[in-house]
Structure 1
């Protein structure tokens, strides 16, 4: 499980979130950088999926792709944990910060095409996928599609798309676990006709990510942090995916979380209200 803590002296702000989301270790080479998972879509479903796959130690890259449909909302008032509501821009800033915090590479770029990667001859089948934007090309073993409204970038794949009733928007059908009919491609959120609710789409993104994780790591149990000794008290070994931490570490993480969140919502620290509607 990835639990990075490399940014202990900085606090997420609206300015940070709007300028620092794009991070990469990529360099210009003939061979595109390779990832275990590529997520297309930076809304609740995509960010949630990316957090789960990255924390499962799968090298993950996220492309925000298009403007999140959540920004059509004036104020988000039904997301559990925000009893007084939260501005959609602020919510997405926190989601992007979460993506960065777990070590996921993120780009504010639209994906122009996804295609099968040619076989290297080292495997019996294909070598995953190639995703191309105006700025870069990357390879990924698996893809989670969590964007909305625009699906033309999937045309190079043998993947079913169909119009959502009653309008012309194309959606991607999946099985009950989020797998599409194109092996290695998963879909989550509104693009699968989920309801227009942020919390529903975030939950679906996490659920589909868990499907992908367990396809890769069949013994994976859950992304769960417990106090040291919990499983020993039940005479059990720590399951795959679970992290045990000491009481001291639990207190440290609690204090850090409180400091970071208080600083994020400090009056005057973020200007997200001024960017509504962009």
Structure 2
């Protein structure tokens, strides 16, 4: 399968081997402006996303692309894997195997600067600057947390997060408002754990929606995550908003060609010829 441009560890890199940090290729988004948000003072994260399914991957993708220092914690047990075949995810008319869909989602996140770590969260606690997420006895500081896990949320019990039992089932779902906020300031939730319909496409959209709300809280001027043709805003006599990138016609063509080649290589990989 196509490489994801992993960052080589330096002599001072102390991350464990189950963490993946990948930077975007040269053709990916670049900005000449200063970052829209300062790095966390405690060397922690702006956002920790808990969950590696459609909602968690979508949330991680949007947070990282907005410039937030993002950590995604996933345990490899997305319920999407219980599906035999996915036939209603837009962009795959004949359908796609759930494993392939999850791997594509993971590759998409890996092309950002999001750090992905395979781990199970033990608990989350409040601290002065946000939260402390505990994994294998390690304390991970973060300003915000976005829960997108299923089916457990007991790691949030110490925070006093409001939950309610799902209708006709044993799982306690996290109660949120229309923006994905919980009753705990700085704690967001998205996907099936909030009662969102158990559909991959719906969960992915919910993860992206809640992530955009989280981003807007940390970066008030954030407008939207989209790539526009060069000169688009100049034509309206406006400055390019935060979160928007303008690219030339040549760069657009380059990205189109790269995207098609990447997808062809992915699906031509011999790994999938035996599925």
Q: TM (normalized to structure 1)?
A: 0.83
Per the alignment, residue 45 of structure 1 pairs with 55
The ranges of structure 1 where at least 4 consecutive aligned residues each deviate by more than 3 angstroms after the TM superposition are 9-12, 269-273
Cα displacement string for residues 203-243 of structure 1 (whole angstroms, at most 9, x for unaligned residues): 00000001001111122111010111011112221111110
- More displaced, 237-246 or 43-52? 237-246
Per the alignment, residue 12 of structure 2 pairs with none
Q: How much has 1:24 moved relative to structure 2?
A: 5.0
| Number of aligned residues | 245
Cα displacement string for residues 27-81 of structure 1 (whole angstroms, at most 9, x for unaligned residues): xxxx985000000000000000010010100000001135111111111100111
Per the alignment, residue 114 of structure 1 pairs with 124
**RMSD of aligned alpha carbons:** 2.1
Specify whether residues 127 and 199 from structure 1 end up closer, same or farther in structure 2 by C-alpha distance, changes over 3 A only: same
Per the alignment, residue 178 of structure 1 pairs with 180
Residue pair 2:52, 2:75 contacting (<8 A) in 1 also: yes
Secondary structure at the counterpart of residue 265 of structure 1: helix
Unaligned regions of 5+ residues in structure 2, if any?
5-16, 23-40
Residue pair 2:129, 2:143 contacting (<8 A) in 1 also: yes
- Asked if 1:157 is matched to 2:171, the reply is no
Per the alignment, residue 212 of structure 1 pairs with 214
- More displaced, 156-165 or 37-46? 156-165
Instruction: Please give the alpha-carbon distance, in whole angstroms, between the structure 1 residues aligned to 2:187 and 2:239.
Output: 33
Instruction: Please give the alpha-carbon distance, in whole angstroms, between the structure 1 residues aligned to 2:137 and 2:255.
Output: 37
Unaligned regions of 5+ residues in structure 1, if any?
1-8, 13-19, 26-30, 118-125, 274-278
Q: How much has 1:270 moved relative to structure 2?
A: 3.7
Instruction: Please give the alpha-carbon distance, in whole angstroms, between the structure 2 residues aligned to 1:106 and 1:114.
Output: 18
- Asked if 1:85 is matched to 2:95, the reply is yes
Per the alignment, residue 15 of structure 1 pairs with none
Secondary structure at the counterpart of residue 61 of structure 1: strand
Residue pair 1:161, 1:172 contacting (<8 A) in 2 also: yes
